[in-house]
Amino acid sequence: MVKVYITGHKVPDTDTICSAISYAEFLKKSGRAEAEPIRLGELNNETKFVLEHFNVDEPRLKTSMQLKVHDLELDEPTIIYRDTPVKRAIELLQEKKTLLLSITDEYHKLLGVLSLSDVTKSYMNVWDDMILHRSNTPLNNIVDVLSAKVLNEAKRELAGKMVVYAMEPDELGDRIKKGDVVIVGDRDNAQIDAIKRDVSLIIVSGGYKMKDEILEQAREKNISVLSTELNSFMAARLLPLSIPAEFVMTSGEINAVNINDTVDEVKEKLAKTRFRSYPVLDDEGKIVGNLSRYHLITGKPKKLILVDHNEKAQSIDNIDEAEIIQIIDHHRIEPVSTNSPVFFRNEPVGSTATIISKMFFEEGIRPTKEVAGLLSSAIISDTLYFRSPTTTDDDRRMLERMALYAEIEPEEYANEMFKAGTSVKGKSVSELLNMDVKEFKIMEESVRIAQIFTLDKESVLELKSEILSDMKKIREEKGNDTFVFVVTDIFDESSIVFVCGEYGVEIAGEFGEKIEENEFFAPGLLSRKKQMVPKVTDAIKKAKEN
């Protein structure tokens, strides 16, 4: 299933976060989609208070819509351990119909990979009769591969070559030496001779057993003895496949990709190789999947729902790489472009949460106490508890209904929430200027408007010189034509406005005020959306006309 993300705007506020979380719950309960709410930045104090009050986790931080490896439907990795016999590895390649096996340690950290070509290269080296010794093959591997019974297990290294005892002892010469691995049939004289030559392992083929008195000699010489139902030919054929997978794996510079790599990065990397499959690792080096070129070709863009905004400049980075499927907002329409028709619900109400609340009731879906609490908080926050000129009767009705489900007394709760959210104590100027900020494109001009709510404007005024200095620096870094900073007192319903850049005189004039030293007082100014943005728009328009 392609994942659906729900995001609000950059520099998230209470409405954008609570609306994203609540709308995800609405989609789930209405059976429309399984969606994940995300955030594009750090939460402010007010939003943290709300989430803690209703015991709701904050959304995951996600800053880009670039398609990444973890967004693809990867193949499940087929994992084996370093001691796994090559024969079992071949069986898994066939059973799983996979191109690649991942070899890990006991902590699932990748040691190497094994493909059919790796196995073929090893098996085709028919002259390597010392491969059991060179690969340090465990006796258990041989037991597994030959389906053998252990007649005697000696703690001894398989130090010699592989050989089939097919001659008479007096004709053998020095063809069998100390430490060799010997395959022999039901021939007492050959078995006894192999013991005398101090071989490391005797494999009795054909399902035969070693006589007790001969087996006792083997024990005395510390020689391992196995019995297999296979004939000597088949035993000799399978024996090399008992070597550990680690011995033939590709290691060192493994062409692995990270789960957090972007698809574009992976495509560039894969263009330089000709492998058909690649292991995917997490940040700890653990194997989590396999990726092939097929996955890159068929990877689909992420599906995205925008809430509380509809402008590209305010949204997540690389939004053009996503498929926008819905927009729910209460701001002016300056929409991002989409490749196909989308569900777009835009209403002139005080908060996006009001629209989402209406959708719950329209569908006959009862919100949980937690969701009702989030929606109530968002309505209170964005309407400044009905002090904002953006407030509508719909906002009042939805808060009244949601507050019942949330089990809160709205006015008392609003005072608690605003007290938690408006404190500027301990905040740096940089934090104040970035707590709640939006960028707008107004008549080809880039305008940045930040706003904070406080019950103590005087403490902010004391920082005026530092505020203007930082505003100038931010404006230059961001390439804005105008930077407006609004300091709003909720209870006396007024704002102090700082302007850096162009159009300061014109903006103050729209409020019937004069700007002095980049500052003016605006009684009645509460809403960025309903009051500040229209005034800035008119100011720029008039300035350009003149």
Whether this prediction's pTM lies above 0.85 is answered by no
Q: How far apart are CA 437 and CA 11, in angstroms?
A: 6
Which residue in 431, 496, 488 sits closest to 461, CA to CA? 496
What CATH number labels 138-242? Answer: 3.40.1390.20
DSSP-derived secondary structure for 36-92? EEEESSPPPHHHHHHHHHTT-PPPEE--B---BGGGS-PBPP-EEETT-BHHHHHHH
Domain with CATH 3.10.580.10 in the chain: 71-123+247-298
CATH class of the domain at 71-123+247-298: alpha beta
Provide the 3-class DSSP secondary structure of residue 137.
coil
Exposed e or buried b per residue across 114-152, where buried means at least 16 C-beta atoms within 10 angstroms of its C-beta = bbeebbeebbeeeebbebbbebebbbebbbebbebeebb
Q: How far apart are CA 109 and CA 311, in angstroms?
A: 44
Is residue 103 within 8 A of residue 80, CB to CB? The reply is: yes
Domain with CATH 3.90.1640.10 in the chain: 4-65+302-422
Q: What is the 3-state secondary structure (H, E, C) of 239-294?
A: HHHHCEHHHHCECCCCCCEECCCEHHHHHHHHCCCCCCEEEEECCCCEEEEEEEHH
Helix (H), strand (E) at residue 232: helix 232-238
Q: In tens digits, what is the pLDDT along the chain, a chain of 546 residues? A: 557 999 999 989 999 999 999 999 999 999 898 999 999 999 998 999 999 999 999 999 999 999 999 888 888 889 999 999 999 999 999 998 888 899 988 888 889 888 888 888 776 765 689 999 999 999 999 999 999 999 999 989 999 999 999 888 888 888 999 999 999 999 999 999 999 999 999 999 999 999 999 999 999 999 999 999 999 999 999 999 999 999 999 887 778 889 999 988 888 887 777 777 888 999 988 889 888 888 888 888 889 999 999 998 899 999 999 999 999 999 988 877 888 899 999 999 999 999 999 999 999 999 999 999 999 999 999 999 999 889 999 999 999 999 999 999 999 999 999 988 887 777 899 999 998 899 999 999 999 999 999 887 888 888 999 999 999 999 999 999 999 999 999 888 899 999 999 999 999 999 999 999 999 999 999 999 889 999 999 999 999 987
Domain with CATH 3.40.1390.20 in the chain: 138-242
From the CA atom positions of the chain, what is the Rg in Å?
A: 37
CATH class of the domain at 4-65+302-422: alpha beta
What CATH number labels 429-545? Answer: 3.10.310.20
Is residue 394 within 8 A of residue 386, CB to CB? The reply is: no
The pair of three-digit structure tokens given for residue 492, joined into one six-digit string: 């006396």
Domain with CATH 3.10.310.20 in the chain: 429-545
